Amino acid sequence: MKKGRLLFIIQQNTYQDQLEQAEAQILQQKANYDHAVIETARYGRLVQQKAAAQTDLDNWRFQRDAYRAGLKNAQAAQKLAKLNLDYTEIRAPFDGRMGRHLVDEGNSGFRWYALLHPPGHPLCPGFLCDYAEFE
């Protein structure tokens, strides 16, 4: 098996949906921000011509800044959603062989099982109960 090979995929649909929601949120915040930038510039000209109140311009500046913050927040949510989606793919960390590894030298779980269920006990499979072989 080569390093980076896909081993398992954990259920992705929830994380994919979260990513799509974050991407939609970016689009919405970007549209709001672009509109606020245009309105801020327009009201800036109107205030100079004395055709609009300064409070209207201040309101659009506030909206622009709030939408810019919302856009940054949505972009961060998108990065987090991508990261979570990436965690659903388990890949081989290095080159090597993969097999079913059940017992290591020094495992204590088998010792306790063997103490509770000695050889001859109905719940003792023979390969687990002779715990001396694991030492």
- Counting the structural domains of the chain, the total is 2
| Cβ 94 vs Cβ 108: under 8 Å | no
Closest CA relative to residue 54, chosen from 40, 66, 64: 40
The whole-angstrom separation of Cα 29 and Cα 69 is 9
On whether both 109 and 131 belong to a single domain, the answer is yes
pLDDT tens-place values along the chain, 135 residues long? 788 888 888 888 999 999 999 999 999 999 999 999 999 999 999 999 999 999 999 999 999 999 999 999 999 999 999 999 998 888 888 887 766 655 555 555 544 444 454 555 555 555 544 444 433
Looking at residue 92, its pLDDT comes to: 82
Q: Would the pTM of this model clear 0.85, i.e. be above it? A: no
> What integer pLDDT is reported at residue 124 of this predicted model?
53
**Domain for residue 1, yes or no?**
no
What is the predicted pLDDT for the residue at 4? 87
78 and 110 fall within a common domain: no
Q: Clarify whether residues 36 and 77 are in a common domain.
A: yes
Domain span holding position 113: 100-135
Q: With CA atoms as reference, report the closest residue to 59 among 45, 73, 39, 33.
A: 39
